[in-house]
Amino acid sequence: MIQIVTGDARPIFKQIVDGIRMQVITGKLPVGSKLPSVRGLSMQLTVNTNTVAKAYTELLSHGLVESRKGLGLFVIKPKQILNEQEREDRLETAVDTLINETIGLDFNNDEIMHMVQSKLVQLYDKKTK
């Protein structure tokens, strides 16, 4: 179940993207499964259909799902589309963001490392369950 938080820094469509991605990561939406329909999800979240459609467009362009005309969107096996340099850059940027967000909260390195480790393991557990 995706939670839309109005006070969130992220726009609604991004929250939906992240929510779907998280469900894919945790295995709630396995490869081959169908995403909720645009209209269905928009009603459930009480947001406009265009907003959901925009989120879905982003998922499409990220290669996480594919569109089967008249049927809906389906989770696909992630293809490696980006080159090595680009992949590395994106990871680096994401880590920079993490550090920037946590810096000033006065965590030491071990605490941060521990949280990352713990989250990664949690995901792995959910996935293989």
Partner DNA sequence: GTGGTCTAGACCACG
Partner DNA sequence: GTGGTCTAGACCACT
Residue 125 binding its own copies, by CB under 8 A: no
In the complex with its own copies, the residue whose CB is nearer, 43 or 76, is: 76
d(CA 61, CA 63): 5
Minimum CB separation of residue 111 from DNA in Å reads: 28
The pair of three-digit structure tokens given for residue 125, joined into one six-digit string: 């557990």
Residues 11-30 contacting its own copies, CB under 8 A: 11-12, 18, 21-22, 24-25
CB 3 within 8 A of CB 104: no
Residue from 44, 54, 63, 112 touching DNA (CB under 7 A): that is 54
d(CA 7, CA 128): 34
Phi first, then psi: give them for residue 71, nearest 5 degrees: -115, -40
Contact pattern from residue 29 through residue 48 relative to DNA, giving x for each residue in contact according to CB under 7 A and a dash for the rest:
------xxxxxx------xx
